[in-house]
Amino acid sequence: MAAVEQVKSSYALQNSGFWTVNRLRIAGFLTLLTLWELAGASGLFFRGILPSSVLIAKALIELLSSSAFYVHLAVTAIEVLVSFVLGGGAGVAAGLLLGASKRAGDIYEPFIHYLAPTPKIVFLPILLVLFGVGMGSKIALGTISAFFPMALNIAAGVRQVSPVLLRVGKTFSLTPAQTVKMIYLPALVPPLATGLRIALGISIVGCLLSEYKLAKSGLGFLAGQYYESFHVAHMLAVLIFIFVCAALGNVLIERFVRLPGQRPTGK
């Protein structure tokens, strides 16, 4: 209900006064741009590291019009997608098992719970030697990273299914399969959505950082190469591109993970 009221009031705001959502976003963007330019021109910092937005824009255009860039983009995209699917999928499976079985959950969930905050990048040297320098090690790191938040979210989601609903199901004599379909699955949509967003974000960061450290190709590798040759504007252009893609990815998940008739999940 709170969500519906909020949406209503935001629509109301959208139609009153000068500020609309889009105008506010443009204003926000322009403010950031201005701050950047001021910081660069102020002379307080080494200008080489804070190139003007004009230079960054030019670099971005150069990047987007070179075919080599798209090869790197494809490599990173594949790495992220595969780790997201593998890690997320394994996480969902593990989460379901742990949430459904009290015994399994009691024994094994603490492992996942306490390993989750470990920075997975520390495993990178081992993964590099095991899986080589190509996409394999990046996918491995992305998968391991994405597994944990998804497993925890799903396990918590399974356990949080309201006992009231389950009793209602029992009075209707639902079969286990029907229970899953009509009670568990809808209840799992919000944690699944949250898990997907977190898993995507973590896969992206994991793949990019490992590309930056040691890789043959990919956007992280490209950013590193540009920094080494001190083409800072190009490095920043790559990072901006990544940021925009991550934003789009988030928006897609938000739109997709919504069963018909349900309230929009997450805001």
Residue 53, judged by CB atoms within 10 A of its CB (0-12, 13-18, 19+), counts as middle
Q: Which of residues 20-79 bind another protein (CB under 8 A)?
A: 20-22, 24-25, 28, 45-46, 48-50
Contact stretch for another protein (CB under 8 A) within 7-15, 60-68, 86-94, 256-264: 7-15
Contact stretch for another protein (CB under 8 A) within 6-14, 54-62, 66-74, 86-94: 6-14
Q: Which of 112, 154, 223, 233 binds another protein (CB under 8 A)?
A: 223
Q: Which residue, 151 or 223, has its beta carbon nearer to another protein? A: 223
Q: Which of residues 150-169 bind another protein (CB under 8 A)?
A: 163, 166-167
Q: Which of 87, 63, 60 is nearest to 206 (CA)?
A: 87
Q: Which residue, 64 or 107, has its beta carbon nearer to another protein? A: 107
Q: Which of 82, 209, 233, 237 binds another protein (CB under 8 A)?
A: 209
Q: How many CA atoms lie within 13 A of 125 on its CB side?
A: 1
Q: Which of residues 129-148 bind another protein (CB under 8 A)?
A: 129-134
Which residues have C-beta within 8 Å of that of residue 97, sequence separation ≥ 6?
104
Q: Least distance (Å) from another protein to the CB of residue 156? A: 11
**DSSP H or E stretch at residue 90:** helix 67-100
Contact stretch for another protein (CB under 8 A) within 58-66, 113-121, 185-193, 255-263: 113-121
Is residue 99 within 8 Å of 154, Cβ to Cβ?
yes
Is residue 196 within 8 Å of 146, Cβ to Cβ?
no
Residue 44, judged by CB atoms within 10 A of its CB (0-12, 13-18, 19+), counts as exposed
Q: Which of 62, 229, 252, 262 binds another protein (CB under 8 A)?
A: 229
Contact stretch for another protein (CB under 8 A) within 53-61, 65-73, 171-179, 257-265: 171-179
Q: Distance of CA 76 to CAs 32, 35, 188, 249, Å?
A: 27, 31, 29, 14
Q: Least distance (Å) from another protein to the CB of residue 138? A: 13
